[in-house]
A and B are shown apart, each in its own frame.
Chain A
């Protein structure tokens, strides 16, 4: 800065000196103005020459060192060169950074596709290209849903619920499964993450097949055992001492049968994770039937009240919904003492349809609630064995509700009672009038 100011003072001084010399020489020769004009013309020519050299350097040789300039021109050129170098340095740094980021993303074992706001492919790494069968830069600018045409994927994009990944089979012929997830970022841009989950899916399928086959295979020997126990129990020649163990064996055989039935029901529900479409379900009629079932039990709560607050119908698979609701009502009946009561409530509001089952039973400790829907999860080992449950009831409820896009909400206070509420989305609700008109 100091140098620059000095250079400017020096340049100004030199200009003044030149003008003075011109004036004096001109005055000496008799015409002061002609002398001034001559030195100014000389000055102008010098500046013009410098300007020309500068322009030539900027145009053709800017990568090389600048030519030698004297005076203020040298100062300006030094500044220009400094700016230029700094820019080039930053540019190179950014390029390196970009290249490193691209290289590291390209080397990721997971596929990454960058989509713009129109869902057009902006960039993808090698793994994504390999997994999704994309072709080099020729596919840039194509819409991703034009190449991944599975209706499931289109639905995923439309629903825009990106917190979960979806599993797709890009080619039905082989056992390749991909997990796809959209991660929105920036302004409307999206990142599509692709992972090959064939191995996990194969293991999962093996597990499901094993459970289904094992339950199926256990069923026939068990029915033979149960059949003989039945005959034994009714045999008058049976020794009195043996009667209690035989009865206990019958009870346990019945319990095992119900566990196997529930396991088979669960594996059937797991087999297809498609949204069950089905027909129209008259929920009030179903609740009335369930109430009758509860009251027909040898030991049952004193009161089972039904509150129907709307006449809308539910769209879904009737047998699945029935098994879910009856599991909820059964549980309530099991854990409610004879002097207690069960309340069933069905209502519809802006958020959809809701069914709640409230009992005045023993309640569930808070810490167990999140894990209740796990298979064979027991709040209290002794209690569930006494009531003869299979431990799969709530798992079935959860699966059925999932297939219908519904959620289960559990509220409970120990010693006061529990409320199980199913929330169905609005698109599952059908106006009863519309339905009867359509039918008629």
Chain B
């Protein structure tokens, strides 16, 4: 009786630990989302001080990554989790790396935004970037929502958005090239903008990675470097439709 009670107690404490780390990851995600949105606002509205403050705040993302990483190591060392729990920890460690990279890209956008704010702003070009930024932030948001809900369908849907981001990236790139050929004076600004678009595209890739970790965490399937259609087929064949909650844990 006593030992059963003790093991119950330990597993409850372990669950609490796991849940706390998961919440910390999502809090970090929330901050990264905010950084991204502020960076895009700084660029579109030409707010140099906002851009600077985004770049200045990146250290907070790094601090969060370090603290979550340490906590994960501690859990691995002291609790030696297995199966589903181990997958959660592994997925968390990977997710925070991608979140930190998203933070870095946001910092880059903020920095470029503060530099571009002093220059004349072309009204039409930023609209495209604004739209791309919106798609990308939604992707990050949906990926984190899927992480919070352990929802495979939503994760797949978020990962699928990456194709749209890639297409938009190509389109804006072509547009920038046209501008540069038409008027060489815009080359400097167009190059800066290309950096921003590239950063947004990278953020889309990181968000896709996070969605993939969600699928790994729930089903234990590593779907990196696999086409999404194959993944969906495999998931639906192997599991009853509508199964979106983890069976273990």
Binding site for B on A (CB under 8 A): 135, 138-139, 142-143, 145-147, 149-151, 154, 171-173
* B85-100 Cβ-contact flags toward A at 8 Å (1 or 0): 0000000000000000
Question: Which residues of A lie under 8 Å from residue B41 when comparing CB positions?
Answer: 172
B37 on interface, CB distance cutoff 8 Å: yes
* B134 and A151 contact, CB distance less than 8 A: no
Partner of B145 from A143, A147, A150 at Cβ < 8 Å: A147
Question: Which residues of A lie under 8 Å from residue B22 when comparing CB positions?
Answer: 146
Name B147's closest neighbour in chain A (CB-CB).
A146
* B23-36 Cβ-contact flags toward A at 8 Å (1 or 0): 10011011101100
* A147 and B148 contact, CB distance less than 8 A: yes
Name A170's closest neighbour in chain B (CB-CB).
B141
Complex Cα distance, B245 from A151, in Å, reads 27
* A143 and B34 contact, CB distance less than 8 A: no
Name A147's closest neighbour in chain B (CB-CB).
B148
Given contacts A145-B23, A146-B148, contact A154 B30 (CB under 8 A): yes
Partner of B26 from A139, A149, A171, A172 at Cβ < 8 Å: A149
Name A172's closest neighbour in chain B (CB-CB).
B37
Tell me the minimal C-beta distance from A32 to chain B in angstroms.
57
Partner of A149 from B134, B137, B138, B144 at Cβ < 8 Å: B144
Show 19 A/B contacts (Cβ-Cβ < 8 Å), sorted by A.
Answer: A138-B149, A138-B244, A143-B19, A143-B148, A145-B23, A145-B26, A145-B27, A146-B22, A146-B23, A146-B148, A147-B148, A149-B31, A149-B144, A151-B27, A154-B30, A172-B40, A172-B137, A173-B137, A173-B138
* B19-58 Cβ-contact flags toward A at 8 Å (1 or 0): 1001100110111011001001100000000000000000
Name B25's closest neighbour in chain A (CB-CB).
A146
Complex Cα distance, B148 from A150, in Å, reads 14
Complex Cα distance, B23 from A151, in Å, reads 12
* B176-197 Cβ-contact flags toward A at 8 Å (1 or 0): 0000000000000000000000
Name B35's closest neighbour in chain A (CB-CB).
A151
Name, among B22, B30, B31, B145, the residue most crowded by chain A CB atoms within 10 Å (CB to CB).
B30
Partner of A151 from B30, B138, B144, B145 at Cβ < 8 Å: B30
Name B49's closest neighbour in chain A (CB-CB).
A272
Question: Which residues of B lie under 8 Å from residue A151 when comparing CB positions?
Answer: 27, 30-31, 34
* B29 and A149 contact, CB distance less than 8 A: yes
Question: Which residues of A lie under 8 Å from residue B30 when comparing CB positions?
Answer: 149-151, 154
Question: Which residues of B lie under 8 Å from residue A171 when comparing CB positions?
Answer: 141
Complex Cα distance, B31 from A173, in Å, reads 16
Tell me the minimal C-beta distance from A174 to chain B in angstroms.
9
Complex Cα distance, B149 from A146, in Å, reads 9
Complex Cα distance, B141 from A149, in Å, reads 9
Complex Cα distance, B41 from A112, in Å, reads 31
3 nearest A-B pairs in the assembled complex, by CB-CB distance: A149-B30, A172-B37, A146-B148
Complex Cα distance, B117 from A105, in Å, reads 48
Name, among A135, A138, A143, A172, the residue most crowded by chain B CB atoms within 10 Å (CB to CB).
A172
* B23 and A143 contact, CB distance less than 8 A: yes
Name A139's closest neighbour in chain B (CB-CB).
B149
* A154 and B148 contact, CB distance less than 8 A: no
Complex Cα distance, B25 from A143, in Å, reads 13
Tell me the minimal C-beta distance from A167 to chain B in angstroms.
15
* B149 and A149 contact, CB distance less than 8 A: no
Complex Cα distance, B33 from A149, in Å, reads 9
Question: Which residues of A lie under 8 Å from residue B138 when comparing CB positions?
Answer: 173
Complex Cα distance, B115 from A155, in Å, reads 31
Complex Cα distance, B144 from A203, in Å, reads 32
Complex Cα distance, B151 from A78, in Å, reads 54
Complex Cα distance, B29 from A143, in Å, reads 15
Name A135's closest neighbour in chain B (CB-CB).
B149
Name A149's closest neighbour in chain B (CB-CB).
B30
New A-B contacts (5) at CB < 8 Å, excluding given A147-B148, A151-B34, A154-B30: A146-B22, A146-B23, A149-B33, A150-B34, A173-B137
Question: Which residues of B lie under 8 Å from residue A147 when comparing CB positions?
Answer: 145, 148-149
Question: Which residues of A lie under 8 Å from residue B31 when comparing CB positions?
Answer: 149, 151
Complex Cα distance, B31 from A146, in Å, reads 12
Tell me the minimal C-beta distance from B205 to chain A in angstroms.
21
* B106-150 Cβ-contact flags toward A at 8 Å (1 or 0): 000000000000000000000000000010011001001100110
Question: Which residues of A lie under 8 Å from residue B137 when comparing CB positions?
Answer: 172-173
Complex Cα distance, B140 from A173, in Å, reads 13
Tell me the minimal C-beta distance from B139 to chain A in angstroms.
12
Complex Cα distance, B127 from A323, in Å, reads 39
Q: Which residues of B, 192-249, contact A by the 8 Å Cβ criterion? A: 244-245
* B27 and A154 contact, CB distance less than 8 A: yes
Complex Cα distance, B145 from A147, in Å, reads 6
Tell me the minimal C-beta distance from B161 to chain A in angstroms.
14
Complex Cα distance, B23 from A139, in Å, reads 15
Question: Which residues of A lie under 8 Å from residue B244 when comparing CB positions?
Answer: 138
Name B30's closest neighbour in chain A (CB-CB).
A149
Complex Cα distance, B37 from A135, in Å, reads 24
Question: Which residues of A lie under 8 Å from residue B145 when comparing CB positions?
Answer: 147
Complex Cα distance, B29 from A135, in Å, reads 20
Complex Cα distance, B144 from A332, in Å, reads 54
Tell me the minimal C-beta distance from B42 to chain A in angstroms.
12
Tell me the minimal C-beta distance from A347 to chain B in angstroms.
32
Question: Which residues of B lie under 8 Å from residue A149 when comparing CB positions?
Answer: 26-27, 29-31, 33, 144
